Amino acid sequence: MSTERKTIRAVIRGRVQGVSYRAWTKKRADRHGVAGWVRNRPDRTVEALFSGPAEAVEALLAECRRGPFAARVDGIEVTEADAEGEGFEIRG
């Protein structure tokens, strides 16, 4: 496994609020060993920061493109970001 680290910011669009998307994302991030956070935004999108081994971040991002059962992901905008702390948290 590569030791390359990667940090991205993702904005997820679609039916992603009110469907447990944040809790689902935290579980997946913990499973992959990815640090960061996830939060709802006022425009009904979900924003997340993922930081960790590049392969784990990419695997988590791939899962986020599908989302939890009740979600409908229409698209994800991804940009590079700076790493923040350790662990993964759900924010506002």
Domain locations in the chain as residue ranges: 22-83
Residue 84 has pLDDT above 90, yes or no: no
User: What is the per-residue pLDDT across 15-64, written as a single tens digit (0 to 9) for each?
Assistant: 999 999 999 999 999 999 999 999 999 999 999 999 999 999 999 999 99
Task: Please tell me the predicted confidence (pLDDT) of residue 3.
Answer: 78
What confidence tier does 2 reach under pLDDT thresholds 50, 70, 90?
low
**CATH second-level architecture of 22-83?**
2-Layer Sandwich (3.30)
- Amino acid at the residue 77: E
As annotated, the active-site residues are 22, 40
